Structure 1
Amino acid sequence: MLLPAGSKLAAVRPQRGKPSAAYCEHALDVVATAGHLAKAGFGHLTAFSTEVEHKLPGRRSLFVDLVLTDPGADVPALLVEVDRDNEGNGTLVAKLHSYRAWCQLPAKGATKRAFDASLHRSGTRTHDLRLWSATYPATGREGLPPAALVPEAGRKRNRRPGAPPLTAEQKKAKAKADHERLLRRIREVEAASGHAWHAPTYREEGVTASDYHRALPVVATTMPLLRRFGAAAPIWWRSGGQQWATLVEALDNPDGDQLLEQQREAARRARELRETERERRRPACTCCTAKFSDERWAEQKHAGAWGNDGLCVGCRQADAAERARQAQREQAAAEAVAAEAKRTSSWWRRT
């Protein structure tokens, strides 16, 4: 048995207006997904909950097929959506957007002023007053609690009565075609749900790292891949990613804050090198040997070789003051010579 003795197979979503609801193949796939995750070491059986209700504004509810909560594990929280071709791509995309919308809700007791102020914070502090951070354990990564999409091919029950059963080759070809359709569906949902999982780059010079703090990490695999390889294999596709990876690798953000710190450090060292080289080329005063200021350096470049006196601002001012004093002395001497000549000329006229 997958669950301990005495445990229910799966919780059944309450059907409003109906007295009861029966277990279905979808519920079996949900429990099977939990079993594959637990077998791979992602949580123990009591860490899983099925059909978890998340209330949204407007008296709406979002039911998550499977929720994993295992604080301290490699994947502390995971919201899983299992589908058996009973929902269209638009419904799955809407659910992903609803996941993100629920994660953005304020925590109970948070004042509007404090919550609005948290919207402008950066990094992990942006989640301090969010409802999800008071509901689920910290993810240990940037971003919201991750969502996983696990599609399965629904069984076709419209075979013609009396039709012969499929041969082994036909079953193999059908399974291959079904799985290719599941993979196409994963890509289609990924393309249509970019607003939920997209992480913009930080707006800093020389930085290509992405800001995942407000993004919803979305990973996907298929039930055939889970059955064949197990949840620990590199069978997970991260929306916006480039290759299949293990679940832990798919949820990691190597181009996130870790890369941001590396690029910031590289940018700081590059600035220091540029500044060192610039200071090495900074001209000095020909009189006092003091380095030119940025303004004096720019003035020298604008003046060119012919209009540059090679002096700093202080020496230029001192030189101008000395020239002014010299001009005053010369003017005073000229005035004294003129006065003496006038006095001598007046004496000869009297005699």
Structure 2
Amino acid sequence: MKQTWKPTHTRKKEVLKALGIFQRATAEHLWRMLRPGDSHDRITRDTLNALKDDGKVRVETRLESNHQLWVLTERGHKEAKQLLPGNVRVSSLRKLEFDDDGEPITGEGYDEHAAAVTMTAAVLTGAGYGTPLSWQTEIAHRLPYGYTQYADLTMRAPDAGVPAMLLEVDRVNEPVDDLVAKLRRYTDWFELLAPKADKDRERVARAFGGARVHDLRLWSRIYPATGREGYVPVAFVFTGKTKAQRASRMRRLEQDARTYFAGTEYAGGGITAVDYHQAVPVVVTELERITADPDGAAGKVWRRLGRNEWQTLTEALDNPDGDRLYVVQAEQARKRQKEREAAAREAQRPVCRRCGAKFTDDRWDSIRHHPAQQHRELCEPCLHEHWEQVQAEQAARRQAEEAAAREAAEADAKKGRGLFGRRR
């Protein structure tokens, strides 16, 4: 079906709101973010030009890639403020400045890193991870030792299975040690106690493990529950240089930052599940990999550090080797322990000295609870048989004694009758 290249009121509002959040963007950024279903960015460019005619946007500069960089005018900035919800932070206005000759000064300060940050938000939004309103840039995470860790992006996309995620964009130009330091500082921030939180309760909760400790920490007051074990996930999005250089960088980050994402072992034999409750889930991807995949950011373009396979984002954030596996393995361990205890108990079960049969539980309990009872070596049936035999023997003896007594009495009676008969 042929697309109609006509800017609409809805599309204009979308562009104004997106620029209100991200401040500066190219037509490609806005196309991938707002209308990924379009076959290319032509209608987005037409929309920008229509807004330019309305005096609401302007071209600030042209990038090395030859893309035009668009920003809001004062009029467009005011309208964007009205369109955006009150809880969304609106970016500052990029005012048009002039030189001494009255010529507009070309915008500066928008480097390739900023372009990669906006592109990251664009491809994720286009893949269904939230909307432009789901994003915030340069969110501060203040630490008690005087450092503030800023996240390039924060995303909230609960409908896509990612309630919150922090993103760092790297153009393969920062030392890996700096990336590891970011994870260390994020971990420090995640472990901060919430105001008025009970330190003793936090220590107890930490000792027992599990998710209860997070209720006492600052991050749970700012970000929504993740729905998974661990802290808010952190994503590193790499771009630039060569594929081999990006792959090498991901491997080095994985090696050096393991202490922050690897989790800890659960206690108990036979348990291979990992306790991720005090760990930062870290995923990595590449902008080049995302844009080359037919499914974009919704495809298998994410890798969880500590794993080898590429997965979808929700698969990468999931913990099949975490609590769910622990519940199964712990139950299996309890079952095996019961079996071992049962086997050990069975090995001690007494055997009847008469018939060789093993004692029943009731018979075994009986001889344990009544150690003075007779015939402890006999099982229940043999014991009954023994007592029946004893009773039969006793009855036979009584009968024999009674018969003997009767015979003696009869003999005495006969003797008596004989004497009296002779006297008569």
TM-score by length of 1: 0.71
Partners of 2:257 and 2:136 in 1: CA distance: 25
Which residue is equivalent to 1:233?
299
Q: Which residue of 2 aligns with 1:79?
A: 166
**What corresponds to 2:247 in structure 1?**
183
Q: Which residue of 1 aligns with 2:34?
A: none
Rounded Cα–Cα distance in structure 2 between residues aligned with 1:112 and 1:280: 49
1:248 matches 2:314: yes
Which residue does 2:327 correspond to in 1? 261
Which residue of structure 2 aligns with residue 166 of structure 1? none
User: What's the offset of the Cα at 1:9?
Assistant: 6.3
Q: Of the candidates 179, 184, 190, which is equivalent to residue 97 of structure 1? A: 184
2: distance between equivalents of 1:63 and 1:201? 31
Partner Cα separation in structure 2 for residue 81 and residue 204 of structure 1: 37
Corresponding position of 1:133: 220
Of 252-261 and 108-117, the range deviating more from structure 2: 108-117
Displacement after TM superposition at 1:312 (Å): 6.1
Q: CA deviation at 1:317?
A: 8.0
Unaligned runs of 5+ in 2: 1-10, 25-90, 93-106, 376-424
Taking the TM superposition and a 5 Å limit, the aligned residue runs for 1:98-113 are 98-113=185-200
State the SS of the aligned residue for 1:270.
Answer: helix
RMSD of aligned Cα (Å):
3.0
Q: Given the alignment, which residue of 6, 11, 16 partners 1:5?
A: 16
Query: SS in structure 1 opposite 2:228?
Result: coil
Judge conservation of contact 1:282–1:292 (CA < 8 Å) in 2: no
Aligned residues of 1:71 and 1:137 also touching (Cα < 8 A): no
The equivalent of 1:122 in structure 2 is 209
Q: Deviations over 1:190-237 (max 9, x none)?
A: 101111111111011221100000011100011111111111111111
Structure 1 runs not aligned, ≥5 long: 15-19, 155-177, 294-310, 320-351
Matches within 5 A, 1:1-351: 4-6=15-17, 7-8=19-20, 10=22, 22-153=109-240, 178-229=242-293, 230-284=296-350, 286=352, 290-291=363-364, 314-315=370-371
- Tell whether the 8 Å contact from 1:69 to 1:77 is kept in structure 2 after alignment: yes
2:349 and 2:146 mapped to 1: Cα distance?
A: 72
- Cα distance in 2 for partners of 1:269, 1:112 equals 37
Greater gyration radius: 2
Q: Alpha-carbon deviation of 1:258?
A: 0.3
What's the CA shift string for 1:165-209, capped at 9, x where partnerless? xxxxxxxxxxxxx11110110111110111111111101122110
Q: CA deviation at 1:292?
A: 7.3
SS of the residue aligned with 2:180? Answer: helix
Deviation at 1:48, TM superposition (A): 0.6
* Equivalent residue letter for 2:179: L
Q: Which amino acid aligns with 1:233?
A: G
Cα separation, 2, equivalents of 1:269 and 1:119: 28
Contact 1:285 1:312 in 2 (8 A): no
- Mapped to 2, the partners of 1:43 and 1:227 lie a distance apart of 18
1:108 & 1:228 partners in 2: Cα distance?
A: 45
In structure 2, do the counterparts of structure 1 residues 283 and 85 end up closer, same or farther at CA, with 3 Å as the change threshold? closer
Give 1:137 shift. 0.8
Q: Percent identity?
A: 38
Q: What CA distance in whole angstroms lies between the structure 2 residues aligned with 1:26 and 1:184?
A: 20
Q: 1:165 maps to what in 2?
A: none
Q: Is the 8 A contact 1:92 1:189 kept in 2?
A: yes
Go from structure 1 to structure 2 and tell me whether the alpha carbon gap of 1:280 and 1:226 turns closer, same or farther (over 3 Å shift). Answer: same
How far has the Cα of 1:93 moved from its partner? 0.8
Larger RCO (CA within 8 A; separation ≥ 6): 1
Change (3 A) 1:9 1:207: same
Q: TM-score scaled by structure 2? A: 0.59
Note the C-alpha offset of 1:112: 3.1
Change (3 A) 1:140 1:267: same
1:147-182 deviations in Å (ceiling 9; x for gaps): 00011115xxxxxxxxxxxxxxxxxxxxxxx11110
8 Å Cα contact 1:71/1:138 also seen in 2 = no
Contact 1:77 1:139 in 2 (8 A): yes
The one-letter amino acid of 1:264's match is A
Structure 2 Cα separation of the partners of residues 118 and 11 of structure 1: 43
CA offset at residue 114 of structure 1? Answer: 3.4
